[in-house]
Amino acid sequence: MHEEATLATLPETDRAERPTGGRAHVVLPAFNEEASLPALLRRLAEVAGTERLTVWVVDDGSADATVAVAESGFGGLDVRVVRHLVNLGLGRAVLSGLRAALEEAGPDDSVVVMDADDTHDPALIRGLRAEIAAGADVAICSRFVPGGDDRTAPAARRVLSRGAAKLFRHTLDVDGVRDFTSGYRAYRASLLKRATAHWGERLIEEQGFACMVELLLKLRHCRPVITEVPLTLQYDRKQGPSKLKLRRTVVQYLKLLARDRLSPAPFRKL
C-alpha cells in the first residue's frame, strides 16, 4: 500500500443505507497473558453463539504460554494467532492485528480491539456492533458516559485516564468522544481500510498506550461518526500486574498532543 494514496470519504447519504450484517474481527494484543486468556476466550465463545466472530490474538513476544493457550480451542471459537518474535509494544501489536483482520474482512465487517487481560466484557461486542449497524464508523466502550464505571481500577490509573480525557476533550477536535484512551472499540472495516490505504505502516506509530489516541486522531480526517457505549471496567478480574507505566504514558500523551498541533493536515480532504 502506498502512503501517498488518498482516502475516499463516503457521502453522508450513504450512511443510513449501509448493510447491518457482517462478521466481527476481534483483535486481542497479548503480552504474557496465559493466565487471563482462558476466561476471556470462553466468554468470547459464548458471544460467538449469537455473533459471527473471528478472534485475532497478537502475541507480542510473550515468554509464557500465551500462544499455546490461544491455539488450544474454546468451544469451536475461530481463533487466529499473529506472532511477534520479540516484544514490539502495544502500538505495533494493535497494528499487526488490524492488518491481519483487514486482509480477511469484508465490506460489511467490523473490527473490535479489546484488552486481552479479561477486564473488558465481551458481551459489549453486541452493543458495539449495533452502533456500527446504526451508522457509526467508530464505537467506543466509554468509562465516562452515564452507566460507565472504572471504580475497580487502581487510583493512579483512574487519575491518568480522567486527566487525559479532560485534556484531550479540550484540546483535540474529535466530536463524540469522552473516553479517548479506552482500549475497547469497534471500527467499521471499510473505514480502517481507507485509512490504511493512506497511512500504511504509519497508521499507528506510537509504541505504548498512546496508540489508541493516535489512531483516533488519524481517523478523524475521514470525518467518521463516533459514538460511545457505557463500559464497566472489570479490573478485579485482571491476572498479574499492569503493563501501563504511568510516567512514560503521560510523556507519550504530551508528545502526541504536541505532534498533533505541529503536524500539517493531509494535503487534501480525505
- Kindly report, residue by residue over 60-84, the tens digit of the pLDDT: 999 999 999 999 988 889 999 999 9
Q: Per residue in 175-226, pLDDT tens?
A: 889 999 999 999 999 999 999 999 999 999 988 889 999 999 999 999 999 9
Cα(66)–Cα(57) distance, integer angstroms: 9
Residue 27's DSSP bridge partners are 56, 113
Joined grid coordinates for residue 5: 494514496
Residue with cell 461486542: 125
Q: Are 21 and 28 in contact (CB under 8 A)?
A: no
Cα(226)–Cα(26) distance, integer angstroms: 19
Cα(179)–Cα(144) distance, integer angstroms: 6
Q: Are 47 and 24 in contact (CB under 8 A)?
A: no
If you count DSSP H runs as helices and E runs as strands, how many of each does the chain have, helices first?
9, 7
In degrees rounded to 5, what are phi and psi of residue 231? Answer: -120, 125
Given a cut of 70, is residue 8 above it in pLDDT?
A: no
Given a cut of 60, is residue 36 above it in pLDDT?
A: yes
Cα(31)–Cα(234) distance, integer angstroms: 19
Domains along the chain?
Answer: 22-261 (3.90.550.10)
Cα(76)–Cα(109) distance, integer angstroms: 20
Q: How confident is the model at residue 164 (pLDDT cuts 50, 70, 90)?
A: confident
